[in-house]
């Protein structure tokens, strides 16, 4: 009898232990492949430099407006510190076991022409020319009706104005966070299917309707990311390793996730349905962070994704094919 009781207590304790363990195990789902099957733009251009002091390689989808550039510097001798600049602006550089690496942005409004990538090693400066080409950004001239987001009286209501102000503060706080380089490898596409609804840096026109007078104004808007097609509930993956610095519902952005990847690099995801991460969570590239939705200023289910490099917006798709290594 006593033995049976002991056995029962033992089984009960085991069950309780398993249940308590279950609570602590957070299930992380990772995308099967970094790029969806239908993503064919895997082209990468390379600028190589080899001298007495360093070997350097710059990688970009295109060395043109709105692209991110990934670079690797391997010094000939053991160096503790190396500096880098593009167009005379200092770029964060990370020391790895094999050398140094970093990212910089070619701004969408950077004038096409020849720029200089400068590597500082000790007292020496090495200049590598980078020819920046023009990118043809699309222009849409048809004014878009955004439903209630096109209604002036709705946007000017005190509750909306106050909420927008709160949202702005939250975003500013998220983008003011600082981390050292958190990237451990190549980037993932944020969706499992590649279909662009609205391209990067497209000029769009929004309607602004004054219901009282019936007057229709138009507002010019630059699209600071890309819209990827998807149905409500489709997966959304983190593009790079990092730390979530915002995950909540905002006015225009709807359910939004901002990930800090360190060294001034952020990716953000908007209009989502469900969020599977919270502020402070560490995420890995390809991790399922939520689902596609149509929350906030959105006319149908899609994913808006943006990539910011030291305050400069670049086409988020320009990073997914780059050979970033640990």
> Which residues make up the interface to Zn ion (CB under 5 A)?
227, 304
Shortest reach from residue 270's CB to Zn ion, in Å: 7
Shortest reach from residue 299's CB to Zn ion, in Å: 10
Shortest reach from residue 297's CB to Zn ion, in Å: 9
Closer residue to Zn ion, CB minimum distance, 64 or 294: 294
Please state, in angstroms and rounded to a whole number, the distance separating the CA atoms of residues 61 and 305: 18
Closer residue to Zn ion, CB minimum distance, 72 or 227: 227
Closer residue to Zn ion, CB minimum distance, 110 or 227: 227
Closer residue to Zn ion, CB minimum distance, 227 or 241: 227
Shortest reach from residue 198's CB to Zn ion, in Å: 6
Shortest reach from residue 112's CB to Zn ion, in Å: 25
Closer residue to Zn ion, CB minimum distance, 181 or 227: 227
Closer residue to Zn ion, CB minimum distance, 135 or 306: 306
Shortest reach from residue 298's CB to Zn ion, in Å: 8
Cα 245–Cα 315–Cα 217 angle in degrees, nearest 5: 90
Answer for the pair 190, 316: CB distance below 8 angstroms, yes or no.
Answer: yes
CA-closest candidate to residue 267, choices 278, 256, 252, 281: 256
Instruction: Render the burial of 203-218: b for 16+ CB within 10 Å, e for the rest.
Output: ebebbbbeeeeeeeee
Shortest reach from residue 224's CB to Zn ion, in Å: 8
CA-closest candidate to residue 67, choices 140, 132, 114, 139: 132
End-to-end CA distance of the chain: 60
Closer residue to Zn ion, CB minimum distance, 49 or 206: 206
Closer residue to Zn ion, CB minimum distance, 33 or 299: 299
Shortest reach from residue 255's CB to Zn ion, in Å: 14
Residue nearest to Zn ion (CB): 304
Sheet holding 67-75, edge to edge: 45-50, 54-60, 67-75, 100-106, 94-95
């Amino acid at each position: 009898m006593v033995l049976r009781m002991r056995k029962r207590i033992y089984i009960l304790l085991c069950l309780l232990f398993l249940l308590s363990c279950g609570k602590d195990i957070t299930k992380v789902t990772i995308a099967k492949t970094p790029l969806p099957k239908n993503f064919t733009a895997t082209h990468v251009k390379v600028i190589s430099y080899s001298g007495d002091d360093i070997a350097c390689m710059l990688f970009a989808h295109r060395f043109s407006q709105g692209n991110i550039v990934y670079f690797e510097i391997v010094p000939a001798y053991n160096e503790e510190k190396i500096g880098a600049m593009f167009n005379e602006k200092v770029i964060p550089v990370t020391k790895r076991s094999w050398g140094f690496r970093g990212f910089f942005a070619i701004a969408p409004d950077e004038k096409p022409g020849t720029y200089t990538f400068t590597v500082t090693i000790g007292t020496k400066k090495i200049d590598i020319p980078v020819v920046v080409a023009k990118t043809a950004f699309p222009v849409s001239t048809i004014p878009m009706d955004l439903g209630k987001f096109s209604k002036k009286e709705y946007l000017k209501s005190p509750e909306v104005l106050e909420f927008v102000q709160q949202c702005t503060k939250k975003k500013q706080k998220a983008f003011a966070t600082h981390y050292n380089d958190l990237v451990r490898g190549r980037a993932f596409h944020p969706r499992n299917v590649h279909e662009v609804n609205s391209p990067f840096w497209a000029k769009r026109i929004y309607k602004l309707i004054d219901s009282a007078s019936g007057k229709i104004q138009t507002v010019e808007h630059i699209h600071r990311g890309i819209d990827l097609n998807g149905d409500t509930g489709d997966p959304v993956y983190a593009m790079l390793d990092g730390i979530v610095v915002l995950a909540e519902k905002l006015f225009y952005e709807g359910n939004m996730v901002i990930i800090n990847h360190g060294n001034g690099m952020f990716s953000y995801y908007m209009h989502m349905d469900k969020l599977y991460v919270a502020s402070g969570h560490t995420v890995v590239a390809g991790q399922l962070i939520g689902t596609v939705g149509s929350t906030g200023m959105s006319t149908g289910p899609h994913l808006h994704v943006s990539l910011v490099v030291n305050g400069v917006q670049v086409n988020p798709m320009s990073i997914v094919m780059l050979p970033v290594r640990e």
